[in-house]
Amino acid sequence: MSAATGGISLVATHQYSGDEWEQYCLLLARRHYGADQVQEVPARHGGDLGIEAFTFCGRAFQCYAPVEPLSTSERYDKQRDKLSTDLRKLETKQKELGSLLGSVRIKQYIFLVPIFDSAKLVQHASTKAEEMRALNLPHLGQDFTITVASDSMFARERSEVLERPTALVDMVQTSLEDVDVWISGNSELTSKALEKLSRIQLSASQRESYLEQLVNQFLDSENALLRLREKYPDQWEAVMDARKRKERKLVLEYPPGSTNTAMDVNGIVRSLKEDLSRQVPALDDPFVDAMSWGSIADWLMRCPLDFEPSEGA
């Protein structure tokens, strides 16, 4: 909701920088369409191609946040000019876009802005969409449309992002030196984990690096658990119960032979993260992420998680 006073829109919303707005919009898009379905398009190396990201189902995103406060008229002028400029790149940089998109055809161009309060912008978008269709560009769908929207387009995802839990404990990064010391002092555990990792599709050098990162996550999660137990013993107990339940079902959910690549391990992590988030909703994302990867490390260094040799391993 906004009220106009003296020609300036007074909006009770966060004033985003361009980069903040872009990252926020892409976060909403990933939550809505799926993180593996949204391809970000960095502009730093290779130039700005007129889109911030695209989905493999044919949606492209451009995010724009002008410096506020602005009147409705001023805001419309800036949004109109930005939309026109970026749409022009779909034509002038069609070779680069063709290489970028591959077989994907852009059917819907979504122009996301923090404040959207002018019908003229919709009229302008409709006119530009018609112009773009008339160009018959190979990377655009024949039914190409332009949608002007704010974050209300992703109302559910916006609520999830804005209402996500506050961190119960701070995640403190374990130093590389501490990781090396721990690995050296726990050779039996780390040797067991390396032996298991030798049975999945990783080279010898990749295994060493993979184990190092796992130990890093393990130490991060164990340190966070200690702080959680001191401050919120009930939440700590809920986390431990959730992890134990997952551990008891590992052989049932991931029987021998079903897990023999690093991507399979990622699937176990995703499943555990979902379990933790559902069973202990007070946990924030960084804690859940570290806890899930730390559990993988723990299970590898003990007995719950094992692999069978992959073909050619």
Domains: count for the chain: 2
Residue 121 falls inside a structural domain: yes
- Pair (200, 107) in one structural domain: no
- Work out the average pLDDT over 162-176: 76
End-of-domain residue from the set 162, 191, 216: 162
Statement: the pTM of the whole predicted model exceeds 0.85: no
pLDDT tens digits along 66-120: 998 899 999 999 999 999 999 999 999 999 999 999 999 999 999 999 998 999 9
What's at 306, amino acid-wise?
D
Residue 3: band (very low, low, confident or very high) from pLDDT cuts 50, 70, 90: very low
Q: Residue 232: which domain range?
A: 176-301
- Pair (213, 153) in one structural domain: no
Positions of E strands within the chain: 2-5, 8-11, 38-40, 53-55, 59-63, 106-112, 140-149
- Pair (8, 106) in one structural domain: yes
pLDDT of residue 47: 65
As beta bridge partners, residue 186 has: none
What is the C-alpha to C-alpha distance for residues 192 and 247, in angstroms, rounded to an integer? 18
- Pair (272, 230) in one structural domain: yes
pLDDT tens digits along 191-238: 888 887 777 767 777 878 888 888 999 999 999 999 888 888 878 888
- Pair (152, 189) in one structural domain: no
User: CA nearest 176: which of 212, 149, 122, 229?
Assistant: 212
- Pair (155, 186) in one structural domain: no
- Work out the average pLDDT over 144-161: 90
- Work out the average pLDDT over 133-154: 96
- Pair (29, 134) in one structural domain: yes
What is the C-alpha to C-alpha distance for residues 65 and 149, in angstroms, rounded to an integer? 12
**Helix segments in 163-232, DSSP class H:** 176-185, 187-197, 204-231
What is the C-alpha to C-alpha distance for residues 83 and 233, in angstroms, rounded to an integer? 52
What is the C-alpha to C-alpha distance for residues 221 and 292, in angstroms, rounded to an integer? 8
- Pair (13, 111) in one structural domain: yes
User: CA nearest 160: which of 284, 244, 295, 297?
Assistant: 284
Residue 225 falls inside a structural domain: yes
- Pair (36, 62) in one structural domain: yes
Residue with tokens 């959730």: 242
Cβ 61 vs Cβ 20: under 8 Å = no
State how far the alpha carbon of 169 is from the alpha carbons of 173, 215, 223, 237, in Å: 13, 20, 10, 15
Percent of the chain past pLDDT 90, that is, above it, reads 41
- Pair (95, 220) in one structural domain: no
What is the C-alpha to C-alpha distance for residues 184 and 177, in angstroms, rounded to an integer? 11
- Work out the average pLDDT over 234-249: 86
- Pair (79, 111) in one structural domain: yes
The burial of 172, by beta-carbon neighbours within 10 Å (0-12 exposed, 13-18 middle, 19 or more buried), is given as exposed
User: CA nearest 25: which of 184, 148, 154, 210?
Assistant: 154
Residue 182 falls inside a structural domain: yes
Could you tell me the two tokens for 198?
Answer: 């030798």
